[in-house]
Structure 1
Amino acid sequence: MPNIRVLRDNAVRKGVKAHEIVRRAYLYVARNQTLPSPLRYQAMLQLNNFGRYSRPTVVKSRCTVSGRGRGIINEFGLCRYQFRLKALKGELPGVSKASW
């Protein structure tokens, strides 16, 4: 059963992906000094009307199993503890226990 944090993180990622192109266009217009100021002002207002889950800074790396937000190994999407458990069970492809 997924954690509520994982579900929220997935919703945030979908929202950011859905609004990314339009946000970038408005940011370009708002920051372009050569354009007239009323047009730039309208672009700023449109940026302010976007929802909470449209900003890419809201996205946080979280473990897909436990929902933990610290110690994430991004290649696998797991926190270090869950990574260790799955590696010891042999559930991760390309990862094996070291033999010294």
Structure 2
Amino acid sequence: MAKQNMIEREKKRNKLIQKYYRKRKEIKGTLNNNLTFIEQLEIQRELQKLPKNSTPCRRRNRCWKTGRSRGFYKDFGLSRHVLREMSHNCLLPGVRKASW
């Protein structure tokens, strides 16, 4: 189980990402190659004024059951430990134990 403060921090980041998504998209939409270098720098400064945690690349994938961030399977939204337990208990449809 992940620490509760890490899970709460991730929730806070997700709220910030949703809050500033449109503003960030509008600012990035104004960037293009036709602008002068100084204009591009001004637009970059506007982006830098936004909160650091509002950028989507700072989001961390976490298991929805335990909050674990490592060993995460994106298809299921689970960590490897929980995925293994649930597949052994036949709680995940279409998942079978491999044998070769």
Relative to the length of structure 2, the TM-score reads 0.72
1:53-93 CA distance string (max 9 Å, x none): 21111011122222222211101111111111111222223
Unaligned runs of 5+ in 2: none
Structure 1 consecutive aligned stretches of length 4 or more whose deviation exceeds 6 Å: none
Q: How does 1:1-100 map to 2 (within 5 A)?
A: 3-4=3-4, 5-29=6-30, 31-36=31-36, 39-97=39-97
RMSD, aligned CA:
2.8
User: Which letter maps to 1:61?
Assistant: N
Moved more, 42-51 or 78-87: 42-51
What is the alpha-carbon distance in structure 1 between the residues aligned to residue 23 and residue 9 of structure 2?
22
Partner SS state of residue 68, structure 2:
coil
Paired AA for residue 91 in structure 1: L
Question: Contact 1:3–1:65 at 8 Å: present in 2 too?
Answer: no
1:3 & 1:33 partners in 2: Cα distance?
A: 45
Identical positions, percent: 28
Kept in 1: contact 2:62–2:79 (CA 8 A): yes
Contact 2:60 2:69 in 1 (8 A): yes
Q: Secondary structure at the match of 1:87?
A: helix
Separation (CA, whole Å) in 1 of partners of 2:86 and 2:59 = 25
Kept in 2: contact 1:6–1:64 (CA 8 A):
no
CA deviation profile, 1:9-31 (whole Å, cap 9, x unmatched)? 233223223322321221232x4
Name stretches of at least 5 consecutive residues in structure 1 with no aligned partner: none
Which deviates further from its counterpart, 61-70 or 2-11?
Answer: 2-11
